[in-house]
Structure 1
Amino acid sequence: MLELWISHGVTIFRVDNPHTKPVPFWERLLEEIHTRHPEIIFLAEAFTRPAMMRTLGAVGFDQSYTYFAWRTEKQEIEEYLQELAHDTAHLIRPTFWPTTHDILTPQMTSGGSAIFAIRAMLAALGAPSWGIYSGYEWVENIQREGAEEPNDNEKYEFRPRDPKLAQETGIPTLLTLLNSARERHPALRQLHDLRIHPTTSEKILCFSKHVPARFSPTGLPDTVIVVISLDPENTVEGEIDIDLSGLSLGTSSANFTVVDELDGQRYSWSRTNWVRLSPWDRLGHVMAIETE
C-alpha cells in the first residue's frame, strides 16, 4: 500500500495511532521504506505514554506529535522545551501543532485571535517543524460539545472558506512573518542550543536558539532571542535577564544589537532588558542578534 502511494508521488505519511500496532512491525517497515526511498517522511501521530512516543522515534519515525497543545503555563512550557531540546532530541524529532482536527484545547476557545497568535509563535519558534490545521487563519474556536476538538471540521463536513475574512484576524500576516524568519535563521529550524532566560513576569516567556557556524548551512553562527506574552487578554511588562555567556558574543557585559524579525526595528540590548507586550500592540519579539 505504501509503495503504491509513493509511486504516485506521496512523500509524507501521517500515521494515525502507531502506538496501537506492534513496535517490531514499524521497525522493520520503516527501515525497508527508508532504504528504498530515503526521501520519505513518516510522522507518528501518537498521544500516549512518553516511553512509547520515544520508542517510536527510536525505531525510525522521522517526526513525532508532541504534548505541546496541552503545555499552556510558563513553567510547563519552559520544562517541555528543555526536555525536547536536551533530554529526548536523540529520540524524538518534535513537531508542534497548536490545533488539529482532533484537538482544540479550552485555552484556544476563549482567547480570540490573540491566543491563536501566541500559540503560532510558540509553535513556529519553539520547534524545528510546526504546522497549523485548516481554519486556523480564521480563528475557528468553537468546540464540539463533549470533546476537545473543533466543532466544524473536515471530519464531518466540507468547509469552504473566504480568504478575505481571514485577513481580518491578522493571523495570515503573522504566519508569513514567522515562516520568513524561520527561512532566514537556521537557529529557528533546530534544537541544537535552546536556552531559557529568566523573566520577572509569569506571563512572559523568553528563550534563545543558537547554531554555531560549523552546524549552520550558511557557514555563519546564528542566534535568535524569542520573547512571547502568554496572556491573550492583558498588557504584560517585565525584565528579561539574558545569559550573555550562552549566546557566543565573546563578552558578558557589552551591549549588542538585535533586529526584530516581526517589524524590522533595531534595539540595543544588554544583560537586562525591559519589555512591554499586549494583544493590541505586539505579543512578542523575534530578536535576531546582529553579527559583525
Structure 2
Amino acid sequence: MKKILFLFIAVGIIAGCSKDDESNSPDHGNNSQKKFLVSRIFDYNNNLRAVYTYNDSNRLLKRETKDDANNPSSDYEIEYENGKAKNIKYIDYKYPQFNHNIVLIYNTDGKIIRDETYQYGKLIGFKNYAYYSNGKLKAMVDQAGLEWYSVDYNNTVNALHTTILMEDDGDLGNTATAYREIFRDFRYDDKKKPDFGLGTVFQIEPLPYFGDEALFEKNISCNNMTTFIGSGTQWIYEYNDDGLPKTIETRWKDIETAEPMMLRLEYTEYK
C-alpha cells in the first residue's frame, strides 16, 4: 500500500472538467471563445524553463525543460492511439535511472480505469480508478475493490476533500486488516487552469520544477488550487486579460526564499 501511494503521488489524472471527454481544450469554468495553449514558461528571472510542442490536433507531443545553461533537463513525450494518450514517456538527461513510461488503459466509455508505470520494460507500479455516475473520478481502488483514496467534490468541480486509507501498523491481536484515515482539504480560485493540450487526460505535472505537493487533487480539479489547508502551502496567481494564470508563485508555510518561487506562462492562441 505504501509503495503504491508513493507512485500514486507522483502522477495523476484529470476528469470531469468538460462536457466532452475527448475535448482537446476543456472548459474550466469560463465561456470565452478564445482558446490558448501554453507555449513557454519562464522563471522569476525570465530564464526559459520549459517549451511545449503540439500536433495538428493541438494535443501535447512533448514538454522539454531547460536548466540554467538552457540545455534539456527532462522531457515528457506523449504517444497517442485512436486520438487518446496511450503512452507517456519520461526522459531524464541528467539522471537516466529515473526514466520510465506510463501506459494508460481505458474502458468502453473512454475513461481511464488503470495506468501502469514501467521502467526498463518492467512493471513497477499501477493504479486503478473508479468513477461517479456523473463521470468525475471517485476513488483509487486496490485489487480487492477497496476504495483506499476517495474524493469529495461537495457539488463543485474541484477536489475539496480527499480521504486516504493507510494500513494501521498497530497490533490488533487478530488477522483483520485495520486502516487509519488521512484527510486532505483544499481551496481553489474560480479561474481557468492553463491548457497544456492534454484534454481530460492528465498523467503528469506539465509545469517545470513545480514539485508534486497535492498533485493528484490539483490535477483532477477544474480550477487553480490556491491552498493546501493541512500543509499551509499557498499558490498565488496573477491573471491575464483572458482569465488565465500569467504567473504562479508557490509559498510554503514558515519558509522564506531569497526571491519568489514564481513561474511566468506564455500562451499561443488557436482555433
What TM-score, normalized by structure 1, do the two folds share?
A: 0.23
Greater relative contact order (Cα < 8 A, sep 6+): 2
What TM-score, normalized by structure 2, do the two folds share?
A: 0.24
Q: Which structure dedicates a bigger proportion of its chain to helix?
A: 1
Q: Which structure dedicates a bigger proportion of its chain to strand?
A: 2
Larger radius of gyration: 1
